[in-house]
A and B are shown apart, each in its own frame.
Chain A
Amino acid sequence: GQNIDQPTEMTATEGAIVQINCTYQTSGFNGLFWYQQHAGEAPTFLSYNVLDGLEEKGRFSSFLSRSKGYSYLLLKELQMKDSASYLCAVRVFYNTDKLIFGTGTRLQVFP
Chain B
Amino acid sequence: DVKVTQSSRYLVKRTGEKVFLECVQDMDHENMFWYRQDPGLGLRLIYFSYDVKMKEKGDIPEGYSVSREKKERFSLILESASTNQTSMYLCASITSRGQGAPDEQYFGPGTRLTVT
State whether A103 touches B110 (Cβ < 8 A): no
- Interfacial chain B residues near A24, Cβ < 8 Å: none
State whether A42 touches B108 (Cβ < 8 A): yes
Contact pick for A103, options B41, B50, B92, B104, CB 8 Å:
B41
Could you name 30 residue pairs across A and B whose Cβ atoms are closer than 8 Å?
Answer: A42-B90, A42-B110, A43-B43, A43-B90, A44-B107, A45-B104, A48-B102, A48-B103, A48-B104, A50-B100, A50-B101, A51-B100, A87-B43, A89-B43, A89-B105, A93-B99, A95-B50, A96-B48, A96-B96, A97-B31, A97-B96, A99-B33, A99-B45, A99-B92, A99-B94, A99-B105, A100-B45, A101-B44, A103-B40, A104-B43
B residues near A, CB below 8 A?
31, 33, 35, 40-45, 48, 50, 56, 58, 90, 92, 94, 96, 98-110
